[in-house]
Amino acid sequence: MKQRTVVHHEAGDTFQHGLRAFFAYRDLGIRGATAGKVGAHVIRAVPGEHAQPQWHTHDLEFQFVYVLKGWVEFEYEDIGFVRLEAGTSVYQPPMVKHREIRHSEDVEILEITSPAEFETRVVEGPAAA
């Protein structure tokens, strides 16, 4: 498949419900341009909705998150609790157990994954130390 340059403007784009009911997702067109090898989207909080902390994993090869606005708090099995604020990035290794604890009402996040579609599994939390 020959790939083409993709330009995606915010104007006119819409946010859709996706993996989490408390977040809305804006696809940036990378999934189609790469035949599903890579996905990129902006995630933002749904007003009035809150995180439902649940340990889970994602079955993918690569996941990168960059906070554009606001803040979000996560807990990871390998590093524990972290607060990500605007300008913070995180690489989440494949299958790492994690959960979102809470987020600001105005949070916006850029997420890049490979592949674009992947399985999410609810799992038991890590054993207490």
CATH code assigned at 21: 2.60.120.10
Q: Is residue 55 part of a domain?
A: yes
Structural domain of 65: 16-122
Q: Is residue 30 part of a domain?
A: yes
Q: Is residue 10 part of a domain?
A: no
Sign of torsion, CA 89 57 74 34?
Answer: positive
Mean pLDDT of the chain: 87
Distance of alpha carbon 116 from the chain centroid = 11
Q: Is residue 127 part of a domain?
A: no
Give the count of beta carbons closer than 10 Å to the beta carbon of residue 56: 17
Q: Is residue 4 part of a domain?
A: no
Q: pLDDT at position 79, please?
A: 95
Q: Is residue 1 part of a domain?
A: no
User: Which parts of the chain sit beneath pLDDT 50?
Assistant: none
83-102 confidence digits (pLDDT tens): 999 999 999 999 999 999 99
Q: For the chain, what is the domain count? A: 1
Q: pLDDT at position 74, please?
A: 94
